[in-house]
Amino acid sequence: MRFATWNVNSIKARLPRLLEWLDSTKPDVVCLQETKVATDAFPAAEVDGLGYETAAYGQGRWNGVALLSRIGLTDVRHGFPGEPGYPEPEARAISAVCGGIRFMSVYVPNGRTPDDPHYAYKLTWLAALRDALTADVAAGPVVVAGDFNVAPTDQDVWDPRVFIGSTHVTPPERAALTAIRDVGLRDVVGRPLKGDRPFTYWDYRAGMFHQNKGMRIDLVYASPAVADRVTDAVVDREARKGKGPSDHAPVVVDVDI
């Protein structure tokens, strides 16, 4: 089985690149984030043409998540029990069972700055996610993948000095990730295809990608039943190149199941 996670930064703007990438990469399951379309506006017919079923959860202009699968897609859930809003519910999580594994695609709140109410929302959201995952992990194998908007360690940002005082690197955010792993999930880290660190995001501005000034914030957290069977994991930086890319690269995981 091959699965992947990718923050596409608008499914409408990225559809040609997504279809090309699906055709060449041939993942069985894909977790998408920042689709930026309403649930009913997701281009399901286009991905159906490549053999994928779709489960989408969107709200229009902001956020939006989806799952694509060509190995079955059942028991779809929008959000998770106890998920907070800001203050209204936001389209940041969707899960479904594909090939016997519950996949959840997550788009964690950004936080903006540590003194912003959005940062408190981010921490509350991550704590609620942890609580909800406790039941899911007990029920069977789980993969939670997506844009976590947290770099787990200082090695996961291109220069820790630049991020002092910023979100994505603060101890409470990192502790929230640890708490999620502690419910029984492991961090499946992709191989970088260039350089020594598997960054998944590079700002569009100032040639950051070309200087490899990135961050590892797109993460794959998997139950041991999945993590133990990983045969390869790669950050597909090829998808960050060329005309009209997302600012995030996909993480692609192969599992012998």
Partner DNA sequence: ATGCCCTTGTAACAAGGA
| Catalytic residue numbers, as ranges | 107, 147
Can you give the C-alpha Rg of the chain in angstroms? 17
Number of residues that bind DNA (CB under 7 A): 35
Beta strands, E only, the chain: 2-7, 29-33, 53-57, 65-69, 74-78, 93-98, 101-107, 142-147, 186-187, 218-222, 230-235, 251-255
200 scored as a contact of DNA (CB under 7 A): no
Question: Contact region for DNA (CB under 7 A) — 65-73, 97-105, 176-184, 235-243?
Answer: 235-243
How far apart are alpha carbons 85 and 102 in whole angstroms?
23
Work out the burial of residue 95: count CB atoms within 10 Å of its CB; fewer than 13 is exposed, 13-18 middle, 19 or more buried.
buried
What is the C-alpha to C-alpha distance for residues 190 and 99, in angstroms, rounded to an integer? 22
Nearest approach, Cβ of residue 207 and DNA (Å): 4
**Candidate list 110, 120, 123, 187; residue touching DNA; CB under 7 A:** 110
**Nearer residue to DNA within complex by CB, 62 or 139:** 62
167-122-218 Cα angle (round to 5): 70
Binding mask 31-70 for DNA (x = CB under 7 A): ---x-x-----------------------xxx--------
Q: Stretches 70-78, 227-235, 237-245, 249-257: which one binds DNA (CB under 7 A)?
A: 237-245
Selected binder of DNA within 69, 95, 167, 223 (CB under 7 A): 167
Among the listed residues 49, 72, 85, 207, the single contact to DNA using CB under 7 A: 207
66-95 residues in contact with DNA (CB under 7 A) are none
Report, in Å, the least distance between residue 238 CB and DNA.
8
What distance in Å separates the CA atoms of residue 200 and residue 219, rounded to the nearest whole number? 9
Structure tokens at 153: 């360690």
193 forms part of the interface with DNA (CB under 7 A): no
| Cβ–Cβ < 8 Å for 125, 87 | no
- Name which of residues 115 to 154 contact DNA (CB under 7 A): 118, 147, 149
Residue listed under structure tokens 């999620």: 180
- Least distance from DNA to the Cβ atom of residue 139, Å: 29
- Strand 101-107 relative to strand 142-147, pairing: parallel
Owner of token pair 């902001």: 62
Sites of contact with DNA (CB under 7 A): 7, 9-10, 12-13, 34, 36, 60-62, 109-110, 112, 118, 147, 149, 167-168, 194, 201, 203-207, 209-210, 215, 217, 241-244, 247-248
